[in-house]
Structure 1
Amino acid sequence: MKTPLSLYRGLPQPIYILFFSTIINAVGIFVYPFLALYLTRRLGYTALEAGTFMTVASVLYVPGSFIGSKLADTIGRKPVLVIFQLLMDVCFLVAGFFEGQTIVPYLVLFALFFDGAVDPAREALKTDVTTMENRQVSFSLIYLGHNIGYAVGPLIAGYLFQSAVRWIFWGNALAGFVATLLVMARIKESKPSQEVIEQSKGWKTTDKGEEGGLFKALLTRPRLLFFALSITFFSYAYSQTLFALPLLTSKLFAEDGASIYGKMMALNGLVVVLANPILVSLLRRYHPLANTTLSGLLYAAAFALFAFATKASVFFLLTILYTIGEIISATNEHYYVANNTPISHRSRFAAILPIIMGTGHAIAPIVGGTIIETSSMSMLWLSTAISAFIGSMGVFLLYLTEKKPKNT
């Protein structure tokens, strides 16, 4: 582990601040991993109703993302990140006081709207403070921080769900407040000046600035658009670990289902913590598109096997398998996108591309709920595996036609 961990030395200081902030925030991610169970077991929603709600929540993320991205590219990354993060935390804080009442889902919807505004600013900020040379490792470290926290958070939330449901909301809010205060105190504004943006339009690199608005700039990056469309098949597949997987464990293991799911999510985070630096060290020599193709194949294998799993031990083994795919995807996908995003449109690309890539995530709950109610849980997982395989083949096709891998 010594050699892989040495990758993280000498990175820009803001990356280390974002690393610690991400750990704190991730420890408190209590609400969303257990939202499907909360809606079905606490508020009495059917699987289809819960899936519909989660799809609506994902759609509401879109206007928040567009608003936040435009503001981040104009007034700056930091104020947008801080203001909307605090608004999201307030929503969760209030939801804790009204736990069990019909108003709670609406507060969650508002929280996810504000979360949509935060994400493009955060993505642009971490791209601003890195270069193509240190970007993959920097992104890997922040991703590692998320999973250090996530190795603990869902485990805590699994027990809170059984005994102190209000603290799922309050804990989420508290962690968010602390993480935001750290960013406020230690990170400076990073938005490139207009002078730098104008100079970048003459660069020969894949992140050179572009004239015009968002959609005009997008048309200059057709390969990036194809990549985003392929990744949406991944996002559909992976989203079932948040929607269908807790329902599956609850179905198979009854009252122990929530606890087992929490342990699976904790294992997911633990595997990332242990394997992330090793996998980055081993695979960084290969093209990010080739690595992303491999991640999709691992997803496909793991999700297909969920259709037949019946023992908790098998669920834990499959969690390790799909987590390896997740690590490879996360440490290559965002790296490829960032390196091919124009410096002039970073926040706006950080809004529109995740929306395209996250379309599968948005429709996954309602499609999953429909498949469960009209067919079976096994059919859901088989179709999920097919989705991951289709996405993998799309990325592989892009890899085969990549002309200048050294620029990506």
Structure 2
Amino acid sequence: MKLLAQYKGLEKENYILFFGKIVTNLGSMVWPMLTMILHKKLGLSATDTATFIIVSGVIFLPANLWGGHIADHFDKKKVIIGCDMISILLFIISGFLPLSLFSMCVLLVGAFFQTLEAPAYQALVAKITPPDKREKAFSLLYLGGNIGLIASPVLAGLLFHRYLWLCFVISGLSISVSTILIARFIRETDGEKENLLHKDAAVSGGSILKIFLRSRALPLFVLAHTFYHGAYAQFGYLMPLDISRAFPENGAFLYGTINSVNCLVVVLCTPLLTMFFEKVSMTKKFVTGILLQAISFLAFLLSFGVIPGYYLSIVLFTLGEIMTSIMIGAYLSSRVPEQYRGRIFGLNSFAASFMSGVVEWTSGYLFDHLGLSYAWGFSIGMTMVAVVASLFLIREDRIEFAEQRI
């Protein structure tokens, strides 16, 4: 009970968003299987699958920046609701179209608007939550999302062969539940006044670029997160390719169960790690999470065709994911003035999405032409770049944000 008690005292809106995340991700059945849909159902090679995902990612890149700008200049709640309505319509339409690259493109247009709203969603969480409770709020939201994801990958694996279209429709319907909750129960506050190191930039004529360039810690954080997230994308790309090569017949179902283990570990361990590392600085949590990801990739490399090895690897991967996920939103919102948060979230997502495309294409090429070991080795190398950057971040953040040490 003490693990759950740490989430007491948050705003009512935090709990509404938590429940909304559960429902939305319970219906999130397409994305865990995207690589297998392209590779198995549509017959694309590993390189072509990566190319499709990369082209989609390139198209999505402006959405991160535009979404950040929109979030800082318009009502965040209205931005979220408007984007959700378009996504719901397109997701449901794509489910009733014959499965093809065209129907996948319709789905991706809907996903574009989900990307467009993401900075507004993150900025809204920061805005409705007192500064000293933000890490708990982002932890709760992350926990809710993964509670929903426990069942969805397994259901998607079961529907994959005969009823794949239902996955598309259910995804749209689940978003509609979250949209109704936000429209009915979420209110925007006027925002709190915070004593930030960069408060002198929060004046007329200031910009997120000026704040970013004046800092040594923020560029290091974005650099570390960019390489970390680029390698993290292998969870939805290289892992399913690895598993489908080892188990051609049952790969989809096995990967679905691995997704569910990922979510189960998140649900069981997020409250535990949030409480256990409460007194540890956010930057040290960050480097710990990245190191665990590097170790998990090495474990995947050594576990080809060994099912228990896959499950051990995903546990290590998930522990690293928890350590980073609970601090990213809280870190950025505590280091940047309130009126610039949408843009810093958008900039961070832009860089991370760009690197994800680079990593997926490169690892796809290595997978097709040199083999699985080279693809995993490349991913481990990318993660180690993030480790080095995050180690430098610890020192720079301690110096630059001495008054805000969290």
TM-score by length of 1: 0.94
Q: Is the 8 A contact 2:299 2:309 kept in 1?
A: no
Aligned partner of 1:250 among 244, 263, 267: 244
Q: Is the 8 A contact 2:359 2:379 kept in 1?
A: no
Q: Are 1:346 and 2:345 matched, yes or no?
A: no
Alpha carbons of structure 1 residues 313 and 405: separation in structure 2 relative to 1, 3 Å: farther
Aligned position for 2:163: 164
Q: Note the alpha carbon deviations across 1:319-343, whole angstroms, 9 max, x for none.
A: 1111001000111222211211221
Q: Note the alpha carbon deviations across 1:164-191, whole angstroms, 9 max, x for none.
A: 0101101111101111111111101346
Alpha carbons of structure 1 residues 204 and 336: separation in structure 2 relative to 1, 3 Å: closer
Aligned partner of 2:358 among 341, 359, 363: 363
**Matches of residues 301-312 of structure 1 in structure 2 within 5 Å?**
301-309=295-303, 310-312=305-307
The residue type equivalent to 1:395 in the other structure is S
Number of residue pairs aligned between Structure 1 and Structure 2? 400
CA-CA distance at 1:279 after TM superposition: 0.4
Aligned partner of 1:273 among 267, 279, 293: 267
Point out the more displaced range, 341-350 or 13-22.
341-350
Q: Are 1:331 and 2:326 matched, yes or no?
A: yes
Aligned partner of 1:228 among 203, 222, 226: 222
Q: Is the 8 A contact 2:196 2:336 kept in 1?
A: no
CA-CA distance at 1:246 after TM superposition: 0.8
CA-CA distance at 1:132 after TM superposition: 2.1
Q: Is the 8 A contact 1:207 1:343 kept in 2?
A: no
The residue type equivalent to 1:184 in the other structure is A
Q: Is the 8 A contact 1:61 1:115 kept in 2?
A: no
Aligned-CA RMSD value? 1.7
Q: Percent identity?
A: 27
For structure 1, the residue ranges without an aligned partner over 5 or more in a row are none
Alpha carbons of structure 1 residues 208 and 89: separation in structure 2 relative to 1, 3 Å: farther
**Matches of residues 196-207 of structure 1 in structure 2 within 5 Å?**
203-205=195-197
Q: Is the 8 A contact 1:139 1:331 kept in 2?
A: yes
For the residues of structure 1 that align with 2:101 and 2:10, how far apart are their CA atoms? 46
For structure 2, the residue ranges without an aligned partner over 5 or more in a row are none
Aligned position for 2:404: 407
Aligned position for 2:234: 240
CA-CA distance at 1:352 after TM superposition: 1.0
TM-score by length of 2: 0.94
Q: Is the 8 A contact 1:91 1:111 kept in 2?
A: yes
Aligned position for 2:393: 398
**Matches of residues 203-222 of structure 1 in structure 2 within 5 Å?**
203-205=195-197, 210-211=202-203, 212-222=206-216
For the residues of structure 2 that align with 1:140 and 1:59, how far apart are their CA atoms? 29
CA-CA distance at 1:24 after TM superposition: 0.7
For the residues of structure 2 that align with 1:359 and 1:396, how far apart are their CA atoms? 23
For the residues of structure 2 that align with 1:73 and 1:328, how far apart are their CA atoms? 28
The residue type equivalent to 1:254 in the other structure is P
Aligned position for 2:373: 378
Aligned position for 1:174: 173
Q: Is the 8 A contact 1:69 1:347 kept in 2?
A: yes
CA-CA distance at 1:205 after TM superposition: 4.6
For the residues of structure 1 that align with 2:155 and 2:404, how far apart are their CA atoms? 43
Q: Is the 8 A contact 2:332 2:341 kept in 1?
A: no
Q: Is the 8 A contact 1:221 1:340 kept in 2?
A: no
Alpha carbons of structure 1 residues 371 and 187: separation in structure 2 relative to 1, 3 Å: same
Q: Note the alpha carbon deviations across 1:242-301, whole angstroms, 9 max, x for none.
A: 011111111101111000100000000000000001001111211111111111111111
